[in-house]
Amino acid sequence: MERRSLALATLTAVIVLTAGLASAGASQPNASALIKISLIGDSDLARVEAAGVPVYARLTGGGESYLLAGASPEEIAALQSMPLDVDVLDASPGGASHYLVLSRSQRQLSSLPPRVRILSYDGVQTLIRATQADAEMLAAEELEITALSLEPITLLPRHGEIIPKTIEPDPLVASMITQVDQTELYQYEEWLTGEEPAMIGGVPYTITTRHTYSGEPVEKATQFVGEHLAVLGLDVEYHSWNASFPPNVIATKPGLVDPDRIFIICAHLDDMPAGEVAPGADDNGSGSAAVLVVSHILSQFEFGCTLKFAFWTGEEQGMLGSNAWASRASGEHLNILGVLNMDMIAYNSDDAPFMDIHARSWLPDSVAMANLFADIVDAYSLEVVPEVLIDDPLGNYSDNGAFWDRGYTAILAIEDEDDFSPHYHTVDDRLSTLNLDYFAQFVRASLGTFVHASDCLIPDGIGYLEGHVTAASRGDAIANAPISIGHATADIGSISTDGSGYYTRTLPTGSYTLTVQASGYVSQSVGGLRVSRGQVTTQDFALRPLAIYLPLCVR
C-alpha cells in the first residue's frame, strides 16, 4: 500500500494547478456543474437525497466518503446552505467525458498527457476530464479506469437483506465443489488465451487477443463462450450494447420455483493490451474460465431461483458492457439479489493464498455476501485466505461497480492486491504465469458462495401441484381464488386460479399445505400434500358458500 503515498506527493501539485482552471471554464448560467459533496455527518446522505440532485458516483478514498453529482448554481447554493460541503470540480461538464483513474504506481501517474484535465484526487483515485481516446490510452498504460456515467445512481439498497448470515455445509454443494477441476480450467485458459486453437462454429480458431477493439478475435471469443453455454442447455443472449463493440454474453438457467429471483456469477471477457497479441490469462481469462466451469457444474442441478452466467465486454474501457446491461436490468426492475464478480483470480506468487473480497457498507447484503465467502472457505476447508475489504476504492474498478451504482448486492473477488500479477495488461499475462492450485481453490470458493448465496438449490428435484377450485353447490369455476402454499420450513407464497378455476405450481419435492380463501366462500385447507420428483399431484377444492345470516325483523 505504501506505493500509493509516493503517487500522492506528485499529484497534489498537479491538482491545485488545474482545479483553478476548471472552475474558471466558460459555463452556461443555469447549466449543471459537476460537483463533489463530502459525506461527513450521518445525515448528509439524506440531505442530498432531499435536495434531489442527480448523483453519479459514491466514492471512498483517502479516508473520506463523498459523492459526485450534478447541480446548477442555485442548487449548489441550496446544498451549501443545508449545510453540505460542496466543491465545484467542473463548471461546464456539458458534453465532455469524465473518468475515474486508479493508479497502482507513481510511474503511471506521471504519464498523464497535459491535455487531460485533473479535476480531483482523493489519495487513491483521480477524476479527470478527457476524451475516450485519452482514457483508453491510460488503460494501455496499465491504469485502471472507469467511465463516469451521467446516469444517476441509486443511493440505497434495492432490496432487504436476503443473503444467509449462517450456513450449514451441504454434501451436495461439497460434491459440486469437488467437481471444479484444474484440468478443465487449464483447458479453457488454453483456448481463451490462444495457447491452443479453440473449436468455434465447428472450426478451429486461435484466439490471439480478446481486446475490445480487436474485431474478429474478440467476436470469436464471445461466440466461443456462447456456444459452450448453449451446449449446457442454457438460454444464451448476445447483448449488443453498442454496434462498435463486441456483445456481452449472458446465459440464463431459469428458476423452477421463483424465476424472478435472480443471482449472477460473472467476469469480463475482454482484455489488454491493444495490438495483435493479448493472452490476458489472469486478466481476465481466469474469471472467464471460472464462469465456464461453474456454469458447466451448476447446469446439472436444479434451482428454485434464476441463475445467470455473464461475460462482460468493454470492461477495460471503463466497465462499458456491464454498465449497459445493469442499466437495462435496472430499467426493467429485474429482481437481482446477488452478483459475484470474479476478476483476476489465478496469480499467486507467494505461499500465502490470500485473496480480496470487496463490498460496500451501504449495501448490507454485499457485506453479508463477502462474509459468506469467508464462511464458505472455512465450512468446506478450502485453501485460500479471503480478506473482506469494505469500501476500499479498488473495488470500484471492475464490473461489480455497475451493480453497486444501481443499488444491487454485489461483491468483487480478486487476487491479493499485495501479490498482484506483475504481467497485468501486458503480452506476458500468459497461462504459464498462473498458480493453478490457487486458481482452482479460488473457483471452488466462488462456486460454494454462489450456491449458498442463492439459497435455492433443489436437492431432490421438483414436482407439480395442480387442481381446480369450484363452488361446491353447482361446480362453477372460481376464478382468481387466492391459494397460499405452506411448507414445513417456510411459507412458499401464494398463487391464484385462472378463469377456469385452474391452478398449477412447480415446487421442490416435499410435503405442502394448501389453503384456499376465496371471498364469499368458506376457506379450505389441505395438508400433507406430497410432491414427488417429476410427478403431478392433483388437489381439487369444492368450496361451500359462506352462510349469510339476515337479522329477523320482528314488528
* Sites of contact with Zn ion (CB under 5 A): 283-284, 343
Answer whether 465's CB lies under 8 Å from 504's CB: yes
* Amino acid residing at 429: D
Strand partners, 503: 467
Residue 248: CB partners within 8 Å, gap ≥ 6? 238, 239, 241, 310, 311, 312, 313, 321, 322, 324, 325
As measured in angstroms, the least distance from the Cβ of 268 to Zn ion is 6
As measured in angstroms, the least distance from the Cβ of 1 to Zn ion is 20
As measured in angstroms, the least distance from the Cβ of 355 to Zn ion is 15
C-alpha 270/C-alpha 86 separation (Å) is 37
* Amino acid residing at 285: G
- Rounded to a whole number, what is the distance in angstroms from the first to the last CA of the chain? 94
Based on CB atoms, which residue is closest to Zn ion, 35 or 413? 413
Based on CB atoms, which residue is closest to Zn ion, 283 or 392? 283
Based on CB atoms, which residue is closest to Zn ion, 284 or 317? 284
Answer whether 31's CB lies under 8 Å from 92's CB: yes
Q: Which three cell numbers stand for residue 462?
A: 421438483
| Beta strand pairing call for 33-38 and 64-71 | antiparallel
Q: Which residue has the cell 436444479?
A: 302
C-alpha 282/C-alpha 421 separation (Å) is 8
Closest C-alpha among 64, 97, 187, 162 to residue 440: 187
Based on CB atoms, which residue is closest to Zn ion, 284 or 322? 284
As measured in angstroms, the least distance from the Cβ of 147 to Zn ion is 15
Peptide bond into 242 cis (omega under 30): no
As measured in angstroms, the least distance from the Cβ of 283 to Zn ion is 4
**Could you please report the per-residue DSSP string of 93-140?**
-TT--EEEEE-SSHHHHTT--TTSEEEEE-SSEEEEE--HHHHHHHHH
As measured in angstroms, the least distance from the Cβ of 144 to Zn ion is 8
Based on CB atoms, which residue is closest to Zn ion, 75 or 144? 144
* Amino acid residing at 537: T
As measured in angstroms, the least distance from the Cβ of 343 to Zn ion is 4
The enclosing H or E element of 57 equals strand 55-61
C-alpha 66/C-alpha 56 separation (Å) is 11
Residue 28: CB partners within 8 Å, gap ≥ 6? 92, 94
As measured in angstroms, the least distance from the Cβ of 362 to Zn ion is 24
Based on CB atoms, which residue is closest to Zn ion, 330 or 398? 398
Neighbouring CB atoms inside 10 A of 547's CB total 6
Identify the three-state secondary structure at position 33. Answer: strand
Based on CB atoms, which residue is closest to Zn ion, 322 or 366? 322
* Amino acid residing at 238: Y
Q: Which three cell numbers stand for residue 521?
A: 366462500
As measured in angstroms, the least distance from the Cβ of 237 to Zn ion is 22
As measured in angstroms, the least distance from the Cβ of 460 to Zn ion is 39
DSSP code for 35: E
Based on CB atoms, which residue is closest to Zn ion, 255 or 321? 321
As measured in angstroms, the least distance from the Cβ of 379 to Zn ion is 28
Answer whether 35's CB lies under 8 Å from 72's CB: no
Based on CB atoms, which residue is closest to Zn ion, 39 or 265? 265
Based on CB atoms, which residue is closest to Zn ion, 125 or 454? 125
| Residues counted in the chain | 555
As measured in angstroms, the least distance from the Cβ of 312 to Zn ion is 10
C-alpha 456/C-alpha 338 separation (Å) is 12
Based on CB atoms, which residue is closest to Zn ion, 283 or 416? 283
Based on CB atoms, which residue is closest to Zn ion, 303 or 347? 347
